[in-house]
Structure 1
Amino acid sequence: MKKLILASSSPRRAELLKQIGLNFEIRVGCVDEPLLPGLSPPELVECLAERKAAAVARDLNDGIVIAADTVVVWQGQVLGKPLNGEEAFDMLSRLQGSAHEVLTGVALIDARSGKVLVEHEKTRVFFRAMEDEEIGRYVASGEPLDKAGSYGVQGLAAIFIKRLEGCYTNVVGLPLARLAQMLKVFGYKVL
């Protein structure tokens, strides 16, 4: 079976791959992640995921490289990772009491053949109304600072989420059902 390479330093993505029993190594390439003007949110996450995968695959002779990029979209506005606590507070203030979408682009590249497959997953997330004090305490926890949209569904922010429509692991950062189907295209069966 081909080896798998996760092109991500995200501990959450690594944990998700371990959860489904995959053996993999981690390699991270140097990729700038600017918000590219003119791209729709699905195009954006697919483009960035493919860039991440390509940055790692070009240095390999073998293996399937897996990369992902996740953003939060609220009222048509893309929310990436906050730069600081103030920006995190602002993002969470906008998300509270409303629905938003989480999009993750997933890219696979077979380093030997150069075959590329890029797709995305979308999940709708509904936040309950939140008080400014709650948001402030959550931001002070430090949890929001390295996450798209300033929250982690698998952490403290779970208390803010009323419901999800779609894939839970997509909101964590890697849609496992989609990934398993994509890996099949490369001849790699998860089960």
Structure 2
Amino acid sequence: MQKQALPLDQTASQAARRLVLASTSPYRRELLGRLGLAFETAAPHVDETALPHETAAGTSLRLAIAKAEALHDQYPDALLIGSDQVALLDGQQLGKPGTHQRAVAQLQSMRGKTLEFHTALALHDSRSGRTQHACDITRVTMRDYTDAQIEHYLQREQPYDCAGSAKVEALGIAMIAQVASTDPTALIGLPLIALCSLLTDAGVEIV
């Protein structure tokens, strides 16, 4: 569990509520840290398997809410942040590959195509029981890269914990031809523009 220093000018406004990121992802932790708020991280222990006939948006939103609400009893007076991302290619969901072989298969299937990344966000207030949520859709067009380039990229980055094997914040950007999004942080895993709106609505002063 990680704690970050709270700026002095925000101490009074934030002292009453704990902010908890329901994730152990280093990518989401780094993103949330950009807001300069004190927060903790905790593993939500949620099964991330998609349900039969569930849409990508439905899967990501259900899991984001489940992750945030999973910490309700552990943090009875806190604001809990959950997020989940699902990649969609030709109507099929792409999750985290987990292994090198699956990552190769994912990247080969994505070559030269456009896919959607559905990144959902949930903010659960364990004091009131209220859960707010939002979902960002980022469209990514991949380059027509070679098998050798796939192998080089995977050996360098090992993005086996990234949906669709796309680690855009590092060398993965070289595999991408175009990105269309309303929030550049969503593709990395935590839509900060939407999160700022949800936190503000919950009474958190960010700036």
- TM over 0.5, shorter chain: yes
2:206 is equivalent to residue 190 of structure 1: yes
In structure 2, stretches of 5+ residues that fail to align are 1-13
Q: Distance between the aligned counterparts of 1:13 and 1:22, measured in 2?
A: 14
Q: Which residue of 2 aligns with 1:108?
A: 123
Over alpha carbons, which structure has the higher Rg? Answer: 2
The amino acid that maps onto 1:181 is S
Q: Which residue of 1 aligns with 2:193?
A: 177
Q: Distance between the aligned counterparts of 1:93 and 1:115, measured in 2?
A: 42
Q: Is the 8 A contact 2:87 2:163 kept in 1?
A: yes
Q: Is the 8 A contact 1:180 1:189 kept in 2?
A: no
**Aligned-pair CA distance for 1:142:** 4.7
Q: Distance between the aligned counterparts of 1:44 and 1:142, measured in 2?
A: 26
Divergent runs of 4+, >6 A: none
**Aligned-pair CA distance for 1:121:** 0.7
Deviates more, 1:55-64 or 1:108-117: 55-64
CA RMSD across the alignment: 1.2
2:156 is equivalent to residue 141 of structure 1: yes
Q: Which residue of 2 aligns with 1:31?
A: 46
Q: Aligned residue pairs: how many?
A: 191
2:102 is equivalent to residue 87 of structure 1: yes
In structure 1, stretches of 5+ residues that fail to align are none
Q: Is the 8 A contact 1:143 1:151 kept in 2?
A: no
Deviates more, 1:28-37 or 1:86-95: 28-37
Q: Distance between the aligned counterparts of 2:143 and 2:157, measured in 1?
A: 21
SS of 2:71's equivalent in the other structure is: helix
Q: Is the 8 A contact 2:85 2:117 kept in 1?
A: yes
2:136 is equivalent to residue 121 of structure 1: yes
Q: TM-score, normalised by structure 1?
A: 0.95
Q: Distance between the aligned counterparts of 2:157 and 2:52, measured in 1?
A: 29
The amino acid that maps onto 1:61 is P
2:21 is equivalent to residue 6 of structure 1: yes
Q: Which residue of 2 aligns with 1:157?
A: 172
Q: TM-score, normalised by structure 2?
A: 0.88
The amino acid that maps onto 1:144 is P
The amino acid that maps onto 1:160 is M
The amino acid that maps onto 2:169 is Q
Deviates more, 1:60-69 or 1:29-38: 29-38
Q: Distance between the aligned counterparts of 1:71 and 1:80, measured in 2?
A: 6
Q: Distance between the aligned counterparts of 1:58 and 1:38, measured in 2?
A: 31
The amino acid that maps onto 1:172 is I
Q: Is the 8 A contact 2:112 2:141 kept in 1?
A: yes
SS of 2:106's equivalent in the other structure is: helix
Choose from 1, 18, 21 the match for 2:36: 21
Q: Is the 8 A contact 2:118 2:135 kept in 1?
A: yes
SS of 2:174's equivalent in the other structure is: helix
2:92 is equivalent to residue 77 of structure 1: yes
